[in-house]
Amino acid sequence: MPIQDQFNAALEKLKTLPAQPNDVMLDLYSLFKQSTVGDVSGKKPGMFDIVAKAKCEAWEKRKGMSKEQAMQAYIALVDELAKKA
């Protein structure tokens, strides 16, 4: 199965899983953004927008990771979460 199809299946699988802690959600967010957009760019959020700043910093840690690598990491993380559920 092509990586894009596996990624789409992981997106759907995640919807069926229980709520996750914030650190896991940031990992998922950063991998999703790296998979779909690539490296973070643009203006960073202000220091008073704590949520947006945390998301931006998590995504920034993925800088340089290819879209395919990010998709594979996302799929692996969702599979790991599904095993724990």
pLDDT tens digits for range 26-83 = 999 999 999 999 999 999 999 899 999 999 999 999 999 999 999 999 999 999 999 9
Of 18, 7, 5, 22, the C-alpha closest to 81 is 18
Evaluated on CA atoms 8, 77, 58, 17, the torsion sign reads positive
Residue with tokens 């927008």: 49
Which one of 3.40.50.720, 1.20.1440.130, 1.20.80.10, 3.40.640.10 gives the CATH number of domain 3-84?
1.20.80.10
Confidence (pLDDT) at 68:
98
Confidence (pLDDT) at 55:
97
CA of residue 62 relative to chain centroid, distance: 9
How far is the C-alpha of 4 from the C-alpha of 78, rounded, in Å?
15
- The tokens describing 11, both together, are 């997106």
How far is the C-alpha of 29 from the C-alpha of 63, rounded, in Å?
13
Confidence (pLDDT) at 28:
98
- The domain limits of the chain are 3-84
